[in-house]
Structure 1
Amino acid sequence: MRRVIFNLKGGVGKTSITCNLAAMSASQGLRTLVVDLDPQGNSSEYLLGKPAADYQDNLAVFFEQMLSFSVFSRRAEEFIHSTPFENLDVMPSSPELMYLEHKLEAKHKIYKLKSTLSRLEDQYDRIYIDTAPALNFYTHSALIAAERCLIPFDCDAFSRQALYTVLGEIQEIQEDHNAGLRVEGIVVNQFDARARLPGALVDALVDEGLPVIKTALSSSIIMKESHEEKTPLVYLAPNHALTNRYKKLHDSLEGVGEAVV
C-alpha cells in the first residue's frame, strides 16, 4: 500500500506524521519504506540520523538517471537506506531535486515514480511518501504513485483555505491520472481541545461533509524532543499520550477502529 501525506501549506506536520506513522507500521512488523520527495530532506534526517545531503545514493541521482537512457541504469533498491529501526527504510531526498524538476517535466517522467514504487511493493508492505508544500513535478508524481492520501490540517484559517485547494488538486489528479487514489481523510494536527477556534474549525469541516479523521494529534514538547533525538515517538516515548494518539490513528487507518467522524 502506497500512502502520500500532502498539503500545500507548510508547518502542518507532514514530516512528523509521515515518519511517525511509518515508524508505527514498522514497529508492528510491517516492512516499511519512506520516500522523501521534499528537497529539504527533513524526513531523511529524522529517520536516518544525518542530513540527506550526506547520502550520495539519493532520489536526485535516482531521477537524474531517467533523463538519459542507459543499459547501466541502477535499480531503485540501490537508493534505499536502512534506518536504525527494524523494518524501516528510506529513499533519501537531496537539495538537487530542485534543479532537476524542469528537466524531468520536459522529458515527461511523471509516471516513473509510480512504476518504481509498484515494483517495490514486492519488498514492502507499506510505502509512505513525504512531499514538499508545493504543486510541482514531485508532488504530482507522488499523487499519481499513491493509492491513498492523508491531508494534515493545523487548525487555522489559512490551513482551511489551503485545504480546499488541496482537495481540488487531488480531484484533478484522480480525474486525469490516478482514478484509484483515495483520500483517507484530514488529519487534525497540533489540536488544542481547550481553545475555542480549533474545535470550531474542525466542526465546520465536519459540517461541510469533509472526511475529518476522528483521532486528532495534539501539540507536545515530546515531538520537538523526538526531532532533536532523531527518533520517532514509538521508540523514544512508547507510552506517551501523543504516541498513543499516533497508534490510534495508525490503527484506524489500518481498519482497526473508527477512522472518520
Structure 2
Amino acid sequence: MPLVVFNQKGGVGKSTIACNLAAISASQGLRTLLIDLDQQGNSTQYLLGGPADEAQPTVASFFDQSLGYSFRQAPATDFVVTTPFEGLHLMASSTRLDELQSKLESRHKIYKLREALQELAQTYERIYIDTPPALNFYTRSALMGARGCLIPFDCDDFSRQALYTLLQNVQEIRADHNPHLSVEGIVVNQFQPRAKLPQRLVQELVDEGLPVLQPYLPSSVIVRESHEQSRPMIHLEPAHKLTQALVALHDGLHAARA
C-alpha cells in the first residue's frame, strides 16, 4: 500500500523521513520504491548523490507520457531508476515538474498517478511518496492514489497550526476522492526531550487524541552528514540512536498496517 509523506510546511524533515523509511524497508529485503514528486528533488539528491535532472528517466517522463507526448505507452516501471542501495528503486524528481503542472491540471490527469501506483504495486512491496510542501496537483495526485499518509511534525507552533489545516485537507480528499486514505500517524521529528516547548506541544497533540507515533525522532547533527554523503542512516550508522528510532518507527508503522 503506497504511503505518502506529506506536510504543507517546508523544513519539517519530510524527505529525510521518506528516504530513511524506504531505505530501512529495502534493507529488510523488501522490494521498495520511492517516488519523488517534489521538484526540489531533495529525496533524489539524497539517494543518488546528484541533482534531480541527472537521473534518466524521471517522474516528469511519466507525466509527459500521460499528456500523450509519447506514441508508445510504456509501463510505469520504465520510469524507475536504481539506487546504490540493494532493493531500493527511485522514480526521480525533475525541475520540469513545475512547468508540467498547469498542463496536467488543464487536461484532468489527476488520476494518472493512482493508475500507475496500482501497476507498481505488482512489482514493489513497499512504495513511499515524497511530496512538495504544498497541496498542489502532485500532492493531491499522491493522496488520491495512496492508502496512507504520514505527517512529519517538527515541534514548533507554526508546524502545529499547519497540522490542523493539513488534517482537514486530508479529510476532504478522503471524503471526495479516496475513501481508503487514512492518516497513519504524526511523526515527531527533531525532538529535544529536555526542552520544555517540544514536550508541551507534543503532549498537547497526544491529549487531543491525534495519532502521534512512537518513538519520537531525536534531534541529531548526524542527519547533515547523512545528507552530505547521500547515505541513509541505516547504511551510515546503523547503531546510532536516531537510526534505531527510525527502525522502531518503521517496524511499528508497518506492523500496524499489516
Q: TM-score range by the shorter chain?
A: over 0.9
Match of 1:161, SS? Answer: helix
CA deviation after TM superposition for structure 1 residue 48, in Å: 1.5
CA deviation after TM superposition for structure 1 residue 74, in Å: 2.4
Match of 1:57 in 2: 57
CA deviation after TM superposition for structure 1 residue 111, in Å: 0.7
What is the TM-score with the length of structure 1 in the denominator?
0.96
Deviations 1:40-92 (A, max 9, x none): 01101111121111123111121012112754132221210111111100000
**Structure 1 CA distance for aligned equivalents of residues 6 and 60 of structure 2:** 20
Match of 2:255, SS? Answer: coil
1:181 partnered with 2:176: no
**Unmatched segments (≥5 aa) in structure 1:** 257-261
**Structure 1 CA distance for aligned equivalents of residues 43 and 69 of structure 2:** 30
* Aligned partners of 2:37 and 2:93 also within 8 Å: yes
Percent identical across equivalent pairs?
A: 59
CA deviation after TM superposition for structure 1 residue 222, in Å: 1.0
Q: Give 2:186's aligned amino acid.
A: I
- Output aligned runs, 1:1-261, within 5 Å: 1-68=1-68, 71-255=71-255
CA deviation after TM superposition for structure 1 residue 122, in Å: 1.0
**Structure 2 CA distance for aligned equivalents of residues 38 and 52 of structure 1:** 10
* Aligned partners of 2:33 and 2:127 also within 8 Å: yes
Q: Which runs of 4+ in 1 moved over 3 A?
A: none
Deviations 1:99-149 (A, max 9, x none): 110110111111110110111111100000000100110000010111111
**Structure 2 CA distance for aligned equivalents of residues 86 and 54 of structure 1:** 20
**Structure 1 CA distance for aligned equivalents of residues 246 and 55 of structure 2:** 29
Deviations 1:226-248 (A, max 9, x none): 00000000011010010000011
Distance 1:89 1:166, change over 3 A: same
**Structure 1 CA distance for aligned equivalents of residues 249 and 184 of structure 2:** 11
**Structure 1 CA distance for aligned equivalents of residues 70 and 47 of structure 2:** 32
**Structure 2 CA distance for aligned equivalents of residues 114 and 124 of structure 1:** 15
**Structure 1 CA distance for aligned equivalents of residues 55 and 96 of structure 2:** 12
* Aligned partners of 2:5 and 2:151 also within 8 Å: yes
**Structure 2 CA distance for aligned equivalents of residues 75 and 87 of structure 1:** 19
Match of 1:187, SS? Answer: strand
**Unmatched segments (≥5 aa) in structure 2:** none
**Structure 2 CA distance for aligned equivalents of residues 147 and 229 of structure 1:** 32
Match of 2:180, SS? Answer: coil
**Structure 2 CA distance for aligned equivalents of residues 56 and 71 of structure 1:** 19
**Structure 2 CA distance for aligned equivalents of residues 120 and 76 of structure 1:** 7
Q: How many residues align?
A: 257
Match of 1:259 in 2: none
**Structure 2 CA distance for aligned equivalents of residues 190 and 132 of structure 1:** 20
What is the TM-score with the length of structure 2 in the denominator?
0.97
